[in-house]
Structure 1
Amino acid sequence: MKIGIVADTHMPARAKRPPSALMKGLEGVDRILHAGDWTELEVLYWLEELAPVDGVAGNNDGDDIERQFGRQKIIEAGGYRFGLVHGDGYRSTPENAWAAFFAAKPEIIIFGHSHVPYKEQRGETLLFNPGSPTDKRRQPQFSYGIIELGEQGIDAKHYYYDSKE
C-alpha cells in the first residue's frame, strides 16, 4: 500500500492550485493523508481526484474543516495504525505529536504545523512530518511524503521540489 502524506497546504494564501510536482508525485497512491492547515476544502477536492483522502484540521482551519475531519484521530491502513494530528501546541511540534498519541502507541504518527520535513523512529513508532508543498518557510525546497507499507515494513520518504507552480 502506498500512502501520500501532505500537510500545511495553506491554500489559497500560499498557492491557488496544488503544485504540479505534488500532484504528479501523488499519482498512483492508494490513499492520501493530510495533517492539517488545508485552510480551504477545495484542497480536498483536488486531492480526491488522485485517491481517497482523510485528514485532520490544523490551527489555521475553519470550523467546516474541523467538523469534517476533527483535530486528531487514529486510522488503520495496510495493517498499521496511523496517529494523525496537526501538532500545534506549547511544546515543539514533534513533542506535541508524540504526546497526542503516547498512550495509544500507533506504529506511525503523521503531523504537520512546523513546515519542516521530519522523520524519526522512537521505539516502535515512526514520527513523520511531510513539510509543506506550498510554504517552505526557511526550508530550501517544498516537500511532501510517501509511505509504502508492505512485507518489508514501513518505508517513509520525503520528496522535494523547487517550484510551487
Structure 2
Amino acid sequence: MWIIVVSDTHMPAKASQLPETLKLGLQRADIILHAGDWTSLDVLAQLSSYAPVYGVAGNNDGPEVVARFGYSRIVECGGKRIGLVHGHGRSGTTERRAMDAFKGQKVDAIVFGHSHVPLCREHNGILMFNPGSPTDKRRQPSYSYGVLQLSGGRMQGKIVYFDNKR
C-alpha cells in the first residue's frame, strides 16, 4: 500500500495547482494524508481525483476546513494506526506537540506538519513523519512530500525532495 503524505500546501497563496512532481507521486497513491494548512478546500478536490483523502486542519485553516476535518484523528490502514495532526501550539517543539496529541493512544506512526521541515525518524517504536511542504519550502533547500509504504506488516517512510513547485 502506498500512502502519499502532504502538509502545509497553503493554496492558493503559495501555488494555484499541485506541483507536477507531486502529481506524479499521487498517481501511485492508495490513500492520501494531509496534515493541515490546506487554507482552501480546493486542495481537497485536487487530491481527491487521485485517491481517498484523510486530513486534519492546521492553524491557517478557516472554519470550513476545521468543521470538515477537525484537528486530529487516527487513520487505520494496512493493519497500522497512523495519528494525524498538524502540530501547532505554544509550548515545546512541533514534534513534541504531535507526540503529545496521541499520548496514551496506540499508534504506529504520527504524521504532522506545521514546521515545513521534513522529518522521518523512529522514536520509542513510533515513526515520526513530517513531509515538509510541496508548495512552501520556507528556509528548506527543497520542496517535499512524503511516502509511507506498507508491505508485509511493515511501514517505511520516505521523503521525496524536488526543486520546482510548478
Aligning the two structures, in what range does the TM-score lie when normalised by the shorter sequence? over 0.9
Query: Which TM-score applies when normalising by structure 2?
Result: 0.97
TM superposition shift of 1:123 = 1.6
- Unpaired runs of 5+ residues, structure 1, are none
Residue number in structure 2 paired with 1:98: 99
Residue number in structure 2 paired with 1:71: 71
TM superposition shift of 1:152 = 5.5
- Matched residue SS, 1:68: helix
TM superposition shift of 1:22 = 0.7
**Count of residue pairs the alignment pairs up:** 165
1:7-61, Cα deviation, whole Å (9 max, x unpaired)? 0000000001111111112211100000000000000000011111010000000
Residue number in structure 2 paired with 1:20: 20
- Matched residue SS, 1:138: coil
- What's the C-alpha RMSD, in Å, of the aligned pairs? 0.8
Matches of 2:2 and 2:17 in 1, distance apart? 23
AA in 1 matched with 2:23 = M
Matches of 1:73 and 1:50 in 2, distance apart? 21
Query: Which 4+ runs in 1 deviate beyond 2 A?
Result: none
AA in 2 matched with 1:81 = R
AA in 1 matched with 2:14 = R
Give runs of aligned pairs for residues 2-17 of structure 1, distance below 5 A: 2-17=2-17
Matches of 2:115 and 2:102 in 1, distance apart? 18
Residues 105 and 125 in structure 1, CA contact (< 8 A), matched pair in contact too: no
- Unpaired runs of 5+ residues, structure 2, are none
TM superposition shift of 1:150 = 1.1
1:95-129, Cα deviation, whole Å (9 max, x unpaired)? 00011112103001000000000112012211100
Residue number in structure 2 paired with 1:124: 125
